[in-house]
Structure 1
C-alpha cells in the first residue's frame, strides 16, 4: 500500500498570539520524495492582520544542511507595514507537549524585503528518528507566533493583554481551593463549584441545587464519558480553549459532552470541526451522532456529503459505519435515501418509503 504524506494543522488563536500545529503524516515518505531545498507548505493562517505560512523542508533548505530538517515562518504582508514578531518552533511529544531540546525561538522584524525567518538546522534527522517523538510515522511541529507591539511611555499603553485564562488554568491543575471531586472511569478530578456553575447552566442546576449537599461529601460519578474527554471538557470550561491538537474522534466526544452540559461555544467549535472533516469512513458515525443528539448543522453537512452517489457508495463499502447506521437509526437511512433521490423520481421515492414502513 502506498504511504501517504499530508500536512494537517490545528490553530489556537488568542488576540495577537497564534499556535499553529503542523502535522506531517508520512514523515519517511516526505523525506524520500522531497529533495534538499524542496518543501511542504502549510495553509495560511492569520495573526496581527497579516497572513502567514510555515514551510517544512524534510531534507534541509540548503545544500550545506542535507542532514537537517529546516523550518521557516513566511510573512505575507497586507500593505507596507513591517511587523515585529516573536516565533518559536517546537517538536511535540506524544502528549502534544513541546520538547525543550527540540524547541527554538527568536524575535525578528518581518517585511516585504525580509519575509521569512526560521532555522535551516532546526533538528538533525538522525537524532529525531532515534527519539520517541515520531509516532506512526507522524511528526508534529508547533509554531507559536506573537505580534510584538510598540512600547509607549504613557500609563494606559502599559496595560498587558488579559491572562485570566492562564490563572484559571493554573487554578484547575494546581487544585487550589477545589471544593468538588468527580469520578470518571476510575479517575478522580478536582474542580471548583463556582467556576462550573458560572460556565454551564446544567452544572449550575446540579451543583447549586439539590446535589449541593451530597456533592460536598463524596465524588460525583460521571457515567458514559471517558476520563480524557472529561479532562478536555474541564480545560475548556476554565480556559475557553480546546486542546491544541483536536482530532475528529475527540471532537465527536466533546460535542456530546458540550451538549450534555449546555456549553454553547464548545458545541459550535466541535461541530464545525466535524463538518470540515467529513469523509466516507466517518460520515455514518457523524450522522448517527447528529441525529441522536440533535446537532442539525452536522446532520445537514453529512446529508450534503452523501448526496454525491460516489460518497454514498464509499460509505456503504465501509461496513462498520453503514451497519451501525442501519441498526441504530433505520429511519435516518430512509431520510438519506429520500434526500438523494432526484425530484423526478418522486413516485419511486414514495414506493420505497412505503415499503420501509
Structure 2
C-alpha cells in the first residue's frame, strides 16, 4: 500500500513600499543685520523650489515667529502649491560658508505631517531655530550672511503594493551637493574673468559681463544690445552719471548674486537708510523690480518722524505704492 503524500504548502509575500521624493534647497541670506528689526512675525521668503511635483519655499523670520520667540530667529517650510494636501518631512541646517559643512539644527520626527494649502495650514517649522545671540556668535554668520539648507522629503500619494517574487536591491542614495551657482557668479564678478564691458561711475571703474547685465535688467539689455545702444562700442565702455560709486557697487552685487551686500561699513541706521533710498532709485532706473521691492520693505520698517516726509516724496516720485501707503499711515498715527 502506497504511503500518503504530504499536502503542498505555498508561501507568498507582498510589501507596501512608500514612494517618496527628496529635494534640497540652499537659501543664502545676505544683509543679516540689515534685516533685523523688520518686526516680530514678519518673514522673508526664499525663491520657490520644487520637490515631488509641489512648490515649496523657506520662510525666515529675523525677529521671531511671534512675541514668544522674539529672542530667536525662526525658520519655516511653506507649501506654495494651491489647493494641495501634502505629507512631508523636512530638515533645517546651517551651512558654514568657510568650510561648506552643514549642521542639523532642526529635524522633523519620522511621522509625515500634513501641509494643507486648502485650509491655510501650509507651513511648518522651527520657531526657535536658533537663539539670536548664539547665531551671531557662531561661525555660521560670516560677512553678515547666513546660509540655510532645507531638505524636504515628500510622501507621494501613490503607494504601490509590490509582490516580493524576487530579491530586489535598493541602491544607496547619492548625495548631491547644494547649488553653488550664486557663489560662482560672485567669484565671476570679483575675478573679472571674461569681463567684456567697462563701467565708469563717479571716477571709479568696474568690469562686468554684458550678457549678465542684460539678463538681469531690461534697461541694460536695451543699452547694450538694442538698436539705440548708448555705449562706446569701440572702447567697450559705459558711462553712468548721477549715481554714487557705492550705490552702483551694491547694484552690481545684486545683479550677480540676487542679494544685498553686507553694509557693515555704514556708520548708523541713517546711513543705511540713505543707501536704501539711493539703491531704490537705481533699481527703478534699471527696472529691477525685486530689488526695488526689497528696498521698499526695508524703508517701511525704518520709518521715523525725521525721515517719513522725505521717504514719502521718494515713494511718490518712483511709484512705490506700498511704501507710500506705509508713510501715510505712519503720519496719521504719529503726527
TM-score of the aligned structures, taking structure 2 as reference length: 0.54
Decide which of 219, 240, 243 is 1:202's aligned counterpart.
219
Matched, 1:164 2:181: yes
1:171-182 correspondence runs (5 A): 171-182=188-199
What is the distance in 1 between the residues matched to 2:76 and 2:215?
41
Query: How well do the aligned residues superpose, as a CA RMSD in angstroms?
Result: 5.1
Structure 2 residue 255 is the aligned partner of structure 1 residue 237? yes
Does the 8 A contact of 1:179 with 1:191 survive in 2?
yes
CA shift in 2, pair 1:73/1:83, >3 Å: farther
SS in 2 for 1:217: coil
Equivalent residue for 1:292, pick from 317, 326, 329:
317
Change in Cα spacing, 1:282 to 1:15, as seen in structure 2 (3 Å) is farther
Residue pairs, 1:1-357, within 5 angstroms: 15-17=25-27, 19=29, 21-22=32-33, 84-87=91-94, 106-108=103-105, 110=107, 143-148=146-151, 153=171, 158=175, 160-208=177-225, 209-211=227-229, 214-217=232-235, 219-244=237-262, 247-308=272-333, 310-311=334-335
In the TM superposition, residue 87 of structure 1 has moved relative to its aligned partner by 2.8
Measure the CA separation in 1 of the matches of 2:299 and 2:62: 24
CA distance in 2, matches of 1:142, 1:206: 33
Gaps of 5+ in 2: 1-23, 47-55, 64-70, 79-86, 110-125, 138-142, 154-169, 265-271
Which runs of 4 or more aligned residues in structure 1 lie more than 6 Å from their structure 2 counterparts after TM superposition? Answer: 41-44, 46-55, 71-78, 115-119
- Judged with a 3 Å threshold, the aligned counterparts in structure 2 of structure 1 residues 227 and 215 are, in CA distance, closer, same or farther, namely farther
* Structure 1: stretches of 5+ with no match in the other structure: 1-13, 26-40, 56-70, 90-97, 126-139, 312-357
1:44–1:51 Cα contact (<8 Å) kept: no
* TM-superposed deviation, 1:231: 1.0
Greater radius of gyration (CA) = 2
Pair 1:51–1:177, CA change in 2 (3 A): closer
Work out whether residues 179 and 216 of structure 1, in 8 Å CA contact, stay in contact via their aligned partners in 2: no
Residue in 1 aligned with 2:116?
none
After superposition, the Cα gap between the structure-2 partners of 1:189 and 1:271, relative to the gap in structure 1 and judged at 3 Å, is same
The answer (yes or no) to whether the contact 2:247–2:279 under 8 Å persists in 1 is yes
Retained in 1: the 8 A contact 2:89–2:152? no
Q: Select the structure that is richer in helix.
A: 1
Matched positions, count: 245
- TM (norm. structure 1) is 0.51
Aligned counterparts of 2:75 and 2:215: Cα–Cα separation in 1: 40
- Structure with more contact order per residue of length (Cα contacts < 8 Å, sep ≥ 6): 2
